Amino acid sequence: MELLLTLFPPLVIIVLVFSTKRVLLSLSGGILAALLVLAQGNLLAMPSLLIEYAMGILTDIDTMLLFAFIIILAGSISIAHANGGTKALAQWMFTKVRTPKQAKLFGLFAGIFIFLDDTFSTQIVGPVTRELADENKISRAELAYIIDTTSASVSSAMPISSWTGLLIGSLATTALFTNASQAYFSLLMINFYSITAIVVCFLSIWFNIQIGSMKKVEMASLAGKDPSKWHTDDAHVDHGRSNIWNILLPLFLTTIATVGMFAYTGYVGAADSGITTITFIDIISNMNSSLSLFVGSLVTFITVTIQAIFVRLSWRDYYKAMAVESMGAFGTVMILVLAFIASDMIKALGLGEQLGMIIQNLQVPFVVLPLIFLGIAGFFSFVAGTSWGTISLFVPIVALIVNTIAPEMVLVSLAAVVSGAVFGDHASPLNGNTILSAAGAQCQPEMHFETQMPYALVGLVITAFAFIVLTLTSSALLAWLAVGIGAIIFVLVAKYIAKRTTVMEHS
């Protein structure tokens, strides 16, 4: 009964998302359900609980810096548009990118290139590629899927990113590895979901595969009626001039400032931790992503403001460009606030601990342990909307259990936890990257969640197949071969179903 009560709030959110297609309403319903459970049905205690959790979000410095980053960067990109930067970039891209496939691949590789931080990626790739997507009649839902896939999946697969500190730190807490950094690089070699998600996205682009509701959205977009579009760019100001440096220079300086702050905050954090000989890994492990992103957004704002003076953008147009997008970003921030509150409440209900107890009481053959951990971590990350929280919670628990019954399976099991956590990050309507990817593409959040889910599930199935092969053969090479086979089967099955559907429609 306790587990059912714990599952009640996330299930309310998921059911409402699918039935109402309204994210704010769904999150509000989930928060109300969580308050009922936390207050044990005491209606009078619910308002004070809500205030407590809301203040926990709104008084957290890192969270507020993240919100400021989103608002400032949105306004800055809009000013760059008014300065003629995005128009010039779009005109240049139109000469290089001539087909929808090329436009999608541009978005995919742009996201892969910006691998240092998943949040940064979602907010940069979208504004840069939206006009290109519209020109090629690519739906905002598919653009959001590409942006989302190249955020956490890419960052978690790279040796150096904002995920590095989390993963090395989590491995270190197990006290099972003499060198946590070395164990981290070994884990990356079998982090199947991160790579598989990117492969599925690439194949979907290359072979023009749309599955589930994505196909209906794409067909409508080709007809000029994209139902996934959140709001148009009509409010943007454009004085008619165009200069590609009015967008490239802000992006370049923003990247330099952000990376520089990553290094600075990482060094200071490592020094404050008492580390005397600071290594590169120490810097990565201690960097402050929220502060770095905030400083990067300020650099963007200052740069585009100076450029606005040089292009003689009127004060009225400057204010309009900044205000429209900044106010629009408040909608994204509101969704994030509710998502974070819901996530904190779900964690407070003890779902993670209860799943941990289920893991401890499992008596199953050790060969299926990675699959179980993949499923449990994926489920928790999905319903709680937190990949980092999932990794921090389950890595120590799983390491302790597996080290007792099958020590040789520890690293494989931990890789399964990470893969499951990244899947939840990719698929959950509560996750920040899901919300920010939709905002970056200016896609309706609920439609992004709905259209992306089938692709995430395909990646999860292929990942499960790879872990089965790895467990049975102890060969990472054969496991990656299984990923390749799974990807080929995905393409063949999807193309066959598409062909059958076309034949049935014309018969």
Which long-range CB contacts under 8 A does 327-330 form with residues at least 24 apart?
328/74, 328/231, 329/70, 329/71, 329/74, 329/75, 329/439, 330/71
Predicted pLDDT of residue 87: 73
Minimum mean pLDDT range among 264-268, 294-298, 357-361, 417-421: 357-361
For the chain, what percent of residues have pLDDT higher than 90? 31
pTM (2 d.p.): 0.82
Q: Are 360 and 394 in contact (CB under 8 A)?
A: no
Predicted pLDDT of residue 235: 45
Name the token pair of 405. 């019954």
Mean pLDDT of 139-152: 93
Predicted pLDDT of residue 392: 82
State the amino acid at position 370 in one-letter form.
P
Predicted pLDDT of residue 419: 96
- DSSP string covering 433-461, please? HHHHHHHHHTB-HHHHHHHHHHHHHHHHH
Is the pLDDT assigned to residue 1 strictly greater than 60?
no
Predicted pLDDT of residue 268: 92
Mean pLDDT of 458-473: 95
| Segment 243-258, tens digit of pLDDT | 788 888 988 898 899 8
| Choice between 165 and 338, residue whose per-residue pLDDT is larger | 338
Q: Give the integer Cα–Cα distance in Å for 496 and 479.
A: 26
Q: Give the integer Cα–Cα distance in Å for 127 and 133.
A: 10
Minimum mean pLDDT range among 81-85, 211-215, 233-237, 347-351: 233-237
| Choice between 182 and 478, residue whose per-residue pLDDT is larger | 478
Q: Give the integer Cα–Cα distance in Å for 236 and 109.
A: 27
pLDDT band, residue 462 (cuts 50/70/90): very high
Strand partners, 229: 443
Give 238: exposed, middle or buried? Use CB within 10 Å, 0-12, 13-18, 19+.
Answer: middle
| Choice between 439 and 205, residue whose per-residue pLDDT is larger | 205
Minimum mean pLDDT range among 203-207, 225-229, 276-280, 470-474: 276-280
Among left, alpha and beta (phi > 0; psi -120 to 50; other), residue 489 is alpha
Minimum mean pLDDT range among 150-154, 304-308, 483-487: 150-154
CA dihedral 80, 81, 82, 88 (to 10 degrees): 100
Q: Are 300 and 254 in contact (CB under 8 A)?
A: yes
| Segment 40-50, tens digit of pLDDT | 888 889 999 99
Mean pLDDT of 21-27: 78
For the chain, what percent of residues have pLDDT higher than 70? 94
pLDDT band, residue 411 (cuts 50/70/90): very high
Taking the domains of the chain in order of start, what are their residue ranges? 60-169+214-226+240-346, 350-506
At 299 the three-state DSSP class reads helix
At 229 the three-state DSSP class reads strand
Predicted pLDDT of residue 234: 45
| Segment 355-368, tens digit of pLDDT | 767 766 766 677 78
**Backbone phi and psi for residue 177, each to the nearest 5 degrees, phi listed first:** -120, 130
Is the pLDDT assigned to residue 8 strictly greater than 60?
yes
| Choice between 441 and 346, residue whose per-residue pLDDT is larger | 441
Q: What is the overall mean pLDDT for the chain?
A: 85
Is the pLDDT assigned to residue 217 strictly greater than 70?
yes
Predicted pLDDT of residue 142: 95
Q: Are 165 and 110 in contact (CB under 8 A)?
A: no
Predicted pLDDT of residue 204: 95
Is the pLDDT assigned to residue 190 strictly greater than 70?
yes
pLDDT band, residue 439 (cuts 50/70/90): confident
Burial string for 55-65 (b: 16+ CB within 10 Å, else e) reads eebeeeeebeb
| Segment 480-493, tens digit of pLDDT | 999 999 999 999 99
Task: Provide the terminal-to-terminal Cα distance of the chain, rounded to the nearest Å.
Answer: 51
At 350 the three-state DSSP class reads coil
pLDDT band, residue 174 (cuts 50/70/90): confident
Q: Are 11 and 323 in contact (CB under 8 A)?
A: no
Q: How crowded is residue 177: how many other Cβ atoms within 10 Å of its Cβ? A: 19
| Choice between 305 and 344, residue whose per-residue pLDDT is larger | 305
Among residues 331, 111, 333, the alpha carbon closest in space to that of 205 is found at 111
Predicted pLDDT of residue 422: 94
Q: Give the integer Cα–Cα distance in Å for 130 and 110.
A: 13
